[in-house]
């Protein structure tokens, strides 16, 4: 693999009110990143209880915001980024809420956030109205929740909260990793999306929380992504060494989940990205044919696939982006630990664990494969053969 090292590691020091700073640039100080690319092995005795509680709180608030926004979404909410993927008011609002809530819940810690969005488009001409809508939306959610009744955020506060996400991450220290809405196109269609938050500690993912507001509580093993009203909305969470749990978004009653442990590929079902631009479906088809998988693929937006896989709804997830696409760490960090702690494996095509320690990108040369431990050897063999056949046919 041609892995790319990113040098700077911005950090943020928290005060009691995290937004009593005149400029977002004053949040950051650069340090040289360690040359090593191997994540440090963490002691299994380390506790992340307060970080998990803060993460669940922050993601739950963001999920409420996204649910509210999805109900009232208008085409005018959609903006365009340089990569042409849609960004909504909910994207920015979700990131601002998570950033703010984490800082309020963990006020004594250095705060570093690697996240998808920044305020550049909001600060351009014509962006003020959108920024005011985001500010109102965030304040409405905070007021309804009541946890931070002492705070009413200004547009400047929102900009600073969003721009906390400019950290580059890396192999030293702690970094939160956030995708405020993973699966934005699914969100706009009314289908699957996720709010995905993970914590890196010395380059290793140690905690993950996935909110999937549209994922049915019952299994989607049969391929249906829709359920009756009141039966949707899942929160998955994991801490290293502690397993994976799922609870309804509107409840604190959690159950431990496990991946499907079948060793028969004919009984396995496949998840893949809904958008053809996100994965080479023809390569996936070749792989499942070699394995003898009989069920048609289930195509789902976002890291909701990781959540569904962790509770056994499916057995295999394949993601093979087209040439030139760079995988971002926020697209996989939370989902990776959720599946891993449920007994699954997440690797590159060579069978190596994903390395989240090198900055904002994974820089994989081919793709990502996910399944249980029993099927992984067979899956790796089928993947290698299919990739070789595809290359020889070009």
Residue-wise pLDDT tens digits, 182-219: 998 899 888 999 999 999 999 999 999 999 999 999 99
Length of the chain: 394
E strand or H helix at 235: strand 232-239
Whether 61 shows a pLDDT value over 90: the answer reads yes
Is the same domain home to 178 and 274?
A: no
Is the same domain home to 154 and 90?
A: yes
Percent of the chain as helix, strand, coil, to the nearest 5: 35, 20, 45
pLDDT digits over 212-238, tens only?
999 999 999 866 666 566 689 999 999
Q: Residue positions in the annotated binding site for Mg(2+)?
A: 116, 179, 181-182, 331
Distance set, CA 229 to CA 71, 195, 249 (Å): 14, 20, 13
Q: Are 338 and 236 in contact (CB under 8 A)?
A: yes
Structural domain contains residue 328: yes
Q: What is the largest CA-CA distance in the chain?
A: 64
Structural domain contains residue 237: no
Structural domain contains residue 224: yes
Lowest mean pLDDT among 20-29, 119-128, 197-206, 262-271: 20-29
Structural domain contains residue 227: yes
Whether 180 shows a pLDDT value over 90: the answer reads yes
CATH number where 301 lies: 3.40.190.80
Instruction: Name the nearest CA neighbour of 95 among 121, 129, 126.
Output: 121
pLDDT for residue 85 = 45
Lowest mean pLDDT among 66-70, 71-75, 160-164, 294-298: 71-75
pLDDT for residue 366 = 83
Structural domain contains residue 178: yes
Is the same domain home to 153 and 282?
A: no
User: Among the three residues 188, 216, 231, which one is the final residue of a domain in this structure?
Assistant: 231
Structural domain contains residue 258: no
Is the same domain home to 79 and 130?
A: yes
**Local confidence band at 165 (pLDDT 50, 70, 90 cut-offs):** very high
Whether 290 shows a pLDDT value over 70: the answer reads yes
Is the same domain home to 276 and 205?
A: no
pLDDT for residue 230 = 65
pLDDT for residue 78 = 60
Beta-carbon contacts of 183 under 8 Å, excluding residues fewer than 6 positions away, are: 191, 192, 193, 194, 274, 301, 302, 303, 304
Structural domain contains residue 43: no
Q: Residue positions in the annotated binding site?
A: 116, 179, 181-182, 331
**Local confidence band at 277 (pLDDT 50, 70, 90 cut-offs):** low
pLDDT for residue 226 = 65
Is the same domain home to 193 and 277?
A: no
Is the same domain home to 214 and 333?
A: no
Is the same domain home to 218 and 272?
A: no
Q: Are 314 and 273 in contact (CB under 8 A)?
A: no
Is the same domain home to 227 and 340?
A: no
Instruction: Name the nearest CA neighbour of 332 among 344, 315, 323.
Output: 344
Structural domain contains residue 318: yes
Is the same domain home to 177 and 270?
A: no
Average pLDDT over residues 59-76: 84
Average pLDDT over residues 92-104: 98
SS (H, E, C) 54-123: HHHHHHHHHHHHHHHHHHCCCHHHCEECCCCCEECHHHHHHHHHHHHHHHHHCCCCEECEEECCCCCCCC
User: Among the three residues 231, 252, 283, which one is the final residue of a domain in this structure?
Assistant: 231
Q: Report the 10 Å Cβ neighbour count for 152.
A: 12
Active site residues: 91, 184
CB neighbour class for 222 (10 Å; exposed up to 12, middle 13-18, buried from 19): exposed
CATH number where 72 lies: 3.30.540.10
Cα separation, 294 vs 347, in Å, equals: 23
Is the same domain home to 277 and 335?
A: yes
For the chain, count helices (H), then strands (E). Answer: 9, 16
Two tokens, residue 164: 């906390």
pLDDT for residue 227 = 58
Number of domains in the chain: 2
User: Among the three residues 187, 212, 231, which one is the final residue of a domain in this structure?
Assistant: 231
pLDDT digits over 39-58, tens only?
444 544 468 999 999 999 99
Q: Which domain holds residue 350?
A: 265-392
Is the same domain home to 271 and 221?
A: no
């Amino acid at each position: 693999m041609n892995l790319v090292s990113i040098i700077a590691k911005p950090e943020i020091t928290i005060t009691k009110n995290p937004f009593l700073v005149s400029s977002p640039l004053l949040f950051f100080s650069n340090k040289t990143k360690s040359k090593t690319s191997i994540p440090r092995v963490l002691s299994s005795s380390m506790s992340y209880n307060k970080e998990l509680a803060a993460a669940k709180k922050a993601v739950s608030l963001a999920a409420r915001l996204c649910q509210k926004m999805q109900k009232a979404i208008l085409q005018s909410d959609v903006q365009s980024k340089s990569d042409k993927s849609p960004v909504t008011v909910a994207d920015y609002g979700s990131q601002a809420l998570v950033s703010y809530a984490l800082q309020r819940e963990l006020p004594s810690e250095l705060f570093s956030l690697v996240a998808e969005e920044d305020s550049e488009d909001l600060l351009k001409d014509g962006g003020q109205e959108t920024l005011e809508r985001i500010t109102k939306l965030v304040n409405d959610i905070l007021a309804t929740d009541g946890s931070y009744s002492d705070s009413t955020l200004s547009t400047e506060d929102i900009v600073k909260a969003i721009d906390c996400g400019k950290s580059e991450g890396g192999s030293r220290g702690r970094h939160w990793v956030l995708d405020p809405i993973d699966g934005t196109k699914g969100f706009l269609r009314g289908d699957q999306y996720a709010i995905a938050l993970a914590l890196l500690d010395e380059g290793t993912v140690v905690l993950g929380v996935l909110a999937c507001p549209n994922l049915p509580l019952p299994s989607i093993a049969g391929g249906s992504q829709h359920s009756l009203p009141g039966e949707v909305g899942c929160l998955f969470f994991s801490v290293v060494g502690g397993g994976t749990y799922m609870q309804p978004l509107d409840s604190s009653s959690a159950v431990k989940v496990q991946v499907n442990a079948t060793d028969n590929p004919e009984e396995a079902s496949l998840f893949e990205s809904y958008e053809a631009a996100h994965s080479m479906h023809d390569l996936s088809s070749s792989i499942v044919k070699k394995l003898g998988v009989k069920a048609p693929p289930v195509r789902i937006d976002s890291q909701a696939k990781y959540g569904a896989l962790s509770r056994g709804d499916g057995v295999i997830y394949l993601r093979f982006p087209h040439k030139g696409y760079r995988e971002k760490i926020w697209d996989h960090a939370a989902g990776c630990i959720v599946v891993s702690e449920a007994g699954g494996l997440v690797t590159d095509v060579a069978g190596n664990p994903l390395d989240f320690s090198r900055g904002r990108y994974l820089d994989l040369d081919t793709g990502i494969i996910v399944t249980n431990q029993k099927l992984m050897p067979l899956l790796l063999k089928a993947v290698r053969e299919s990739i070789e056949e595809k290359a020889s046919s070009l």
